[in-house]
Amino acid sequence: MSFPFNAKIPAGPLAEKWTRYRGEAKLVSPANKRKLDIIVVGTGLAGASAAASLGELGYNVKAFCYQDSPRRAHSIAAQGGINAAKNYPNDGDSIHRLFFDTIKGGDYRSREGNVYRLAEVSNQIIDQCVAQGIPFARTYGGLLDNRSFGGAQVSRTFYARGQTGQQLLLGAYGALSRQIHLGSVKLYPRRDMLNLVMENGKARGIITRNLVTGEIERHTAHAVVLATGGYGNVYYLSTNAMGSNITPAWQAYRKGALFANPCFTQIHPTCIPVHGDFQSKLTLMSESLRNDGRIWVPKKQEDAEKLRKKQITPADIPAEDRDYYLERRYPAFGNLVPRDVASRAAKERCDAGFGVGTGLAVYLDFEESLKRLGKEVIEERYGNLFQMYEQITGENPYTTPMMIYPAVHYTMGGLWVDYELMTNIPGLYAIGEVNFSDHGANRLGASALMQGLADGYFILPYTIGNYLAAEIHTPRMTTKEPSFDQAAAETEARLNRIMQIQGKQSVDKLHKKLGHIMWEYVGMGRNEAGLRKALEELPKLKEEFWADIKVPGTLHEFNPEIEKAGRLIDFIELGELIARDALLRAESCGGHFREEMQTSDGEAKRDDEHFTHVSAWQFNEETEPVLLREDLVFEAVELKQRIYK
């Protein structure tokens, strides 16, 4: 079956597509913009930048977030930096090179047109952020400083110490706050979006729960933008915030929006290792640390064992007995190989018995850089990260190497969108991490911030007009229409059903079970038997939820347990879709590693003949989800095995 939706990639040479699109897109006059309402759900980098930019243009915007303030969205936790093709260091960067690195980094599973546009607008983002007063790192000459990130041989990453996400988000939050002050954006904090309202096949509103009062609320608009982030918490333990969830996107999926490439999940190589059963989240140590830190494990298994038993310390291992395995296996990129490659290499060493700490950890060592650059320089570059590490582990990374291990971090899959960032539901947009668009099967470091802000500042404000131009005659809907009644009733019925179970297991307990199944069978290495096992276990877990979940309190008050329960059941359903997608994609690519498909030296082996497509899943109430394939066409780049040696 051919793919029934149009990705709307503009015709013409790659470098001209976006210019051509902007020249031809329909416009909405200022007088008409005032008559159009847009809902933006989520206030991270994508959501806040979109809401602010759309407000500036004159639309009426309503912005929603589950946090108490838009400034707390999880983009804030991004540490290392943001990429752009400025070529300020004069090291050979260009828009084409950033485009190429991103396509290759994503293991050739993203659209050329989208990725080229991302690289094209990357430079404007840096200009915008500087104009907003974001204190990027600078050199003594007063100009912007750059550093390197994985998967690139140029230094194109702009940063603000180890708090780049925080600073960029606060910039977007400032722009959003300004629009709130001017009255073009109305803010709704502490709200969960629980349903999508459709009218005549178009997205026309949302149903939210006021988390303080428990009230079910209705909001109407001419377009709905989802900027709700990724689904890493399907694994329970991840670097995501505790509240990060898939519910808005999942409800949209249940209303007909396609969910693309759910099995493309990213395991980040440098996180603080798991320390116990009671653990609630994992903390990332920025990839930027790999600029100056060297990753190693002992060469001898007996040394590793002594280290695990704490009979010796890492300082007791002489240089010749250390295996700097990334430098050994990938001399060209060394410690700065892409995340998927670095994660698998760490797993390989630990599985082979060379792990330290609990056995599931490797060293990230700054000894040499401290000698070469001095403590002051290292402190200036990574001070807050070192402090964060010491708080959590009680160890001082200035004197003993950090211990790190891979952890779930980012999800490349998400709602299917076309070139305009619109899902297959007219009027419903998905921007930032919640869409599947730009990173293929693996995202490169410092590219999430770039994509979130590209979508929000420079892409959606152009593309949404092309849709809304035809909506200027559509009158505002009241929330008393039957479509709102029905959606609100669905949501209330679901919440009541959960409350009435009063079983024995808390939400966290079941969430841990979900996490265990996902990590065990749908984690870093996947195989057919394991995936089939997951597909057996997950429906059982779903039954367990509907039979045995326990939610205290009532619906009509501040009740964090009911929030978590609703998010969990959507995660369980999504988990099943991830496993299904991973089973069908019988190739290894990027973060999706099928153990059956590897080269003789353990690298991911793609199957371009059968899998050069986007797997877009369509919900079906009666049957299993339906797989639709959007073929990926490559004109500018040649498909090759990714080599970082």
Residues 192-251 that bind other proteins (CB under 8 A): 212, 239, 241-243
Query: What is the smallest separation between the CB atom of 93 and other proteins, expressed in angstroms?
Result: 14
CB 44 within 8 A of CB 432: yes
180 versus 636: smaller Cβ distance to other proteins: 180
Q: In what order do the strands lie in the sheet with 265-271?
A: 265-271, 402-411, 362-365, 294-298, 322-323
Query: What is the smallest separation between the CB atom of 534 and other proteins, expressed in angstroms?
Result: 26
Binding other proteins (rule: CB under 8 A), the pick from 94, 132, 486, 527 is 132
Residues numbered 461-520 forming contacts with other proteins, rule: CB under 8 A: 461, 506, 508-509
Tell which residue, 204, 115, 255, has the closest CA to residue 482: 204
Task: Tell me the three state secondary structure of residue 566.
Answer: helix
Residues contacting residue 601 through CB under 8 Å, at least 6 positions apart? none
Q: Which stretch binds other proteins (CB under 8 A): 165-173, 346-354, 437-445, 471-479?
A: 165-173
Binding other proteins (rule: CB under 8 A), the pick from 15, 130, 501, 637 is 130
Binding other proteins (rule: CB under 8 A), the pick from 1, 11, 31, 131 is 131
Q: Which stretch binds other proteins (CB under 8 A): 7-15, 177-185, 591-599, 602-610?
A: 177-185
Scanning 183-313, the segments in alpha helix (DSSP H) are 247-254, 301-308
Pairwise CA distance, residues 491 & 618, whole Å? 21
Tell which residue, 78, 381, 47, has the closest CA to residue 239: 78
389 binds other proteins (CB under 8 A): no
Binding other proteins (rule: CB under 8 A), the pick from 236, 330, 458, 619 is 458
408 binds other proteins (CB under 8 A): no
Query: What is the smallest separation between the CB atom of 131 and other proteins, expressed in angstroms?
Result: 4
Binding other proteins (rule: CB under 8 A), the pick from 4, 13, 133, 539 is 133
- Please identify which residue in the block is written with the tokens 């519910």: 247
CB 585 within 8 A of CB 263: yes
Residues numbered 538-577 forming contacts with other proteins, rule: CB under 8 A: 550, 552-553, 557-558, 560-561
166 versus 588: smaller Cβ distance to other proteins: 166
Binding other proteins (rule: CB under 8 A), the pick from 83, 102, 128, 266 is 128
48 versus 628: smaller Cβ distance to other proteins: 48
The catalytic position among 204, 339, 580, 594 is 339
Binding other proteins (rule: CB under 8 A), the pick from 9, 77, 370, 373 is 77
As given in the structure block, the two tokens for residue 31 are: 């007088």
79 versus 261: smaller Cβ distance to other proteins: 79
103 versus 285: smaller Cβ distance to other proteins: 285
Helix-then-strand count for the chain, H and E: 19, 19
186 versus 613: smaller Cβ distance to other proteins: 186
142 versus 475: smaller Cβ distance to other proteins: 142
Query: What is the smallest separation between the CB atom of 390 and other proteins, expressed in angstroms?
Result: 10
CB 414 within 8 A of CB 260: yes
Tell which residue, 626, 632, 620, 630, has the closest CA to residue 580: 626
Query: What is the smallest separation between the CB atom of 549 and other proteins, expressed in angstroms?
Result: 11
Tell which residue, 290, 262, 341, has the closest CA to residue 524: 341
Query: What is the smallest separation between the CB atom of 628 and other proteins, expressed in angstroms?
Result: 34
Q: What are the Cα distances from residue 54, in Å, to 62, 108, 225, 287, 589?
A: 10, 32, 11, 33, 36
Binding other proteins (rule: CB under 8 A), the pick from 58, 89, 189, 359 is 189
Neighbours of 560 (CB within 10 A): 13
597 binds other proteins (CB under 8 A): no
Bridge partners of 295?
Answer: 364
Q: Please give the DSSP secondary-structure letter assigned to residue 618.
A: E
Query: What is the smallest separation between the CB atom of 144 and other proteins, expressed in angstroms?
Result: 6
Binding other proteins (rule: CB under 8 A), the pick from 153, 210, 283, 598 is 283
Binding other proteins (rule: CB under 8 A), the pick from 6, 279, 396, 599 is 279
As given in the structure block, the two tokens for residue 533 are: 């096992």
Query: What is the smallest separation between the CB atom of 240 and other proteins, expressed in angstroms?
Result: 9
Q: Please give the DSSP secondary-structure letter assigned to residue 239.
A: S
Pairwise CA distance, residues 444 & 105, whole Å? 6
Residues numbered 287-346 forming contacts with other proteins, rule: CB under 8 A: none
Q: Which stretch binds other proteins (CB under 8 A): 102-110, 149-157, 277-285, 600-608?
A: 277-285
56 binds other proteins (CB under 8 A): yes
Query: What is the smallest separation between the CB atom of 547 and other proteins, expressed in angstroms?
Result: 17
Bridge partners of 192?
Answer: 209
Binding other proteins (rule: CB under 8 A), the pick from 226, 388, 468, 522 is 388
Binding other proteins (rule: CB under 8 A), the pick from 225, 237, 284, 342 is 284
Q: What are the Cα distances from residue 268, in Å, to 99, 238, 344, 377, 454?
A: 22, 10, 10, 25, 23
Pairwise CA distance, residues 127 & 110, whole Å? 26
| Catalytic residue list contains 339 | yes
Q: How many residues bind other proteins (CB under 8 A)?
A: 82
Q: Please give the DSSP secondary-structure letter assigned to residue 15.
A: G
CB 406 within 8 A of CB 222: no
Query: What is the smallest separation between the CB atom of 502 and other proteins, expressed in angstroms?
Result: 9
Residue 486's identity, in one-letter code, is Q
Dihedral class, residue 602 (left if φ above 0, else alpha if ψ from -120 to 50, else beta): left
The catalytic residues are 339
